[in-house]
Chains A and B, each alone.
Chain A
Amino acid sequence: MTGREHELMKTNWSIGEEIPILTKTAFAPVEKDARNPIHTDEYARAHGLRGALIPGSILLSYVLEMLYRTFAGNWLTSGRIRVSFIGGGAINGDRLTAHGRVKAWEEEGQGRRVFLDLWLENQEGVKILVGEASCLIS
């Protein structure tokens, strides 16, 4: 599999095929005096959340790491991603799994661009991030 190397190894993804998932235990330090108090327990709970929200940029990074593992250096020069944050977000200790499923291919220049549906779900199978990505393969 690719990912743990910088060079792209697999180029023949099939429509409907899932790329390798990536699972992490969500964590972000909770700072009592955070500039954005939604990342503190007290403020987040007062707004109906389970606790201090993990920043969206960290959730996005989990997905970006999955995409880099799959598309290696190609991702760094041609990756495109668009995501929406849904549900109640994530808090420390949530077990999050990033998924991607190939949905299309398009010719682009001298190569082909692969398109994927993306999602990040928690330990209960609830999606907290959905979106799509694409990457030039050759």
Chain B
Amino acid sequence: MGIESDFDSIPIGLDLGEWEMVLDEETVRVHADRVQWEDREILEKHGLAPPGISIDLHAKMQFAKLTWMKSAIWAKSKHEFLMPFRLGRRIKIRGKIVDKFIKRGKRYRVAEFETVDEEGRVLMRSRETGVLVE
């Protein structure tokens, strides 16, 4: 269920839920097209998806939960890649809000995400600071 109230009501620790993504050929192709990834044959040869393919979902997870939020952009983002994103695998992305603050009149929220594979192995960790566009 979404949070329909505003910035002040965002609880630190708010669980953004767990979303799934299947790294099938179509999903990988759509992402590669979107980001104009050029060296696809190298990734395909090794059965890999572009690193960070799931990062787009992070914003969607926040918009789905914070339903009052009209617009936001990244101020900062940080990612650690631990294992390759492999073609054909099902991955899960878990996220939560870990901080929020106001700086120079702008409202920021900080979210952390962990992407794991079917065996629970962590593929990527992310920490993203977003600012509301008002």
Q: Do A and B come from one complex?
A: yes
Q: Using a CB–CB distance below 8 Å, which chain A residues touch chain B? A: 3-6, 24, 27-28, 35-38, 43, 47, 53, 55-58, 60-62, 64-65, 68-69, 73, 75-85, 89
Interface size class of B (residues with CB under 8 A): 35 or more
> Residue on A with the closest CB to B34?
A58
Q: How far is the CB of B58 from chain A (nearest CB, A)?
A: 8
Q: Are A76 and B63 in contact (CB under 8 A)?
A: no
Interface-located stretch among B3-11, B45-53, B94-102, B111-119: B45-53
Per-residue interface assignment for chain B, residues 70 to 102, with 1 indicating a CB less than 8 Å from any chain A CB and 0 otherwise: 111111111111111100000000000000000
Q: Are A56 and B74 in contact (CB under 8 A)?
A: yes
A-B contact count (CB 8 A): 102
How far is it, in angstroms, between the C-alpha of A73 and the C-alpha of B39 when the chains are bound?
13
Say whether B1 faces chain A, with CB atoms less than 8 Å apart. no
Q: How far is the CB of A42 from chain B (nearest CB, A)?
A: 12
How far is it, in angstroms, between the C-alpha of A5 and the C-alpha of B48 when the chains are bound?
13
Known: A28-B34, A60-B77, A76-B81. A36 touches B55 (CB 8 A): no
Per-residue interface assignment for chain B, residues 24 to 54, with 1 indicating a CB less than 8 Å from any chain A CB and 0 otherwise: 0000000000111111001001101011100
List the 4 closest A-B pairs by CB distance, nearest first.
Answer: A61-B35, A56-B74, A76-B84, A79-B81
Q: Are A85 and B75 in contact (CB under 8 A)?
A: yes
Contacts of A79 in B (CB 8 A): 51, 79-81
Contacts of B14 in A (CB 8 A): none
> Residue on B with the closest CB to A22?
B38
**Of B46, B52, B63, B81, the contact of A36 (CB 8 Å cutoff):** B63
Q: How far is the CB of A117 from chain B (nearest CB, A)?
A: 15
Contacts of A65 in B (CB 8 A): 35, 37-39, 50
Known: A36-B63, A57-B56, A61-B37. A81 touches B78 (CB 8 A): yes
Q: Are A24 and B36 in contact (CB under 8 A)?
A: yes
Question: 26 interchain pairs (CB within 8 A)?
Answer: A4-B39, A35-B63, A37-B71, A38-B72, A38-B73, A47-B133, A55-B56, A56-B77, A60-B77, A61-B37, A62-B35, A64-B51, A64-B52, A65-B35, A65-B37, A73-B46, A73-B84, A76-B51, A76-B81, A80-B78, A80-B79, A81-B78, A81-B79, A82-B78, A85-B75, A85-B77
